[in-house]
Amino acid sequence: MSEPTDHRGQVALITGGGTGIGRATALAFARRGMHVAVNYSRSRDDAEATAADCTAAGGEGWAVQADVSDPSEIDRLVASTVDRFGRLDILVNNAGTTVFVSDYANLDALTGEVWDKILGLNVKSAFFAARAVAPHMKAAGGGAIVNVASISGLRPVGSSMAYNASKAALISVTQSLAVALGPTGVRVNAVAPGHIETRWHAGRDAAAAAARDRTPLGRNGTGDDVAGAIDYLATAPWVTGEVIVVDGGRFLR
C-alpha cells in the first residue's frame, strides 16, 4: 500500500518531544497538519508549550506523560494516543540519555548502573515502542518509525563509550526492524545527528567550540536541522533501513 502525499490528519507520536530535536520535529509535523502526541517524562511545562505551539502551527498538539524506559508505560502511551486520535501513523523515538565520560580510558566510570540506564532508554525503549505501535500501523496498511541515533553510533566521538554503544545498537535495531516490518508497510529509518545546540549540551562551551571547529560547514546543528531529516524519513514512501547523517560534514573528518 503506497503512502499518501497529503499527511494532514495523520498522527505522530514523539518521545521526548517537548524540547530540542523533539520539539522541532513536532512543529514540523504540525505545519503539515498532523496531530502530534508530545511525550515527556518530567518536562511537563516544555511539553505543554510545544503542544500549544503545534496547535497554533496548524496541527493539533497533545502533551502526554510517560516514562518510556518502562515497557508498560510505553504500552500505555501508545494506547492512549490511539484512543485520543483514533490512529497512529508515525513514531519518532527521540528520548535518550547519557553520562558524560569523555576520558574513554576511565573504564571505572561506566558502572553497571550507567550501562543499564543508557541502554535501557536509548535502545530498549525504541524497540518496545516500535513493538507497541506496529499492530496499529499494520492495521492501517503502513506507517513510519524514525529513530534518533547519533554519529557516535558510527564513530567513537560521543559523550561516553556506553552512549556510543547504545547508538550503534540503535542503528542495528533500526535496520533489523526495517527487515521485520517492511512486508507490513511499516518503514523504519534513523537519523544520526552531530553536535546539536540544545540544552543537552548546555554549559559545555568548550566541547561545542571544538565540534564547530571540526565541522566543514562552520557551525553546529540546530533542532530544525535534524527535524528536516526526520520529516523526510517520516514521509518518504520508498525509504527504509537507512541512516541519514546530519552533522554539517563533521563525519568526513
Distance CA 97, CA 212 (A): 22
Distance of CA 167 to the CA centre of its chain: 11
Distance CA 195, CA 179 (A): 29
Strands (E), 22-70: 35-40, 60-65
Q: Is 40 a catalytic residue?
A: no
**Nearest CA among 188, 180, 194 for reference residue 233:** 188
**Nearest CA among 119, 118, 112, 122 for reference residue 100:** 118
Distance of CA 145 to the CA centre of its chain: 9
Distance CA 17, CA 235 (A): 18
- Among residues 40, 104, 163, 232, the one annotated as catalytic is 163
Phi, psi values for residue 37, rounded to 5° = -90, 115
Helix (H) or strand (E) holding 181: helix 161-181
DSSP string, 184-200: GTEEEEEEEE-SB-SGG
Burial of 131 (0-12, 13-18, 19+ CB in 10 A): middle
Q: Which residues are catalytic?
A: 163
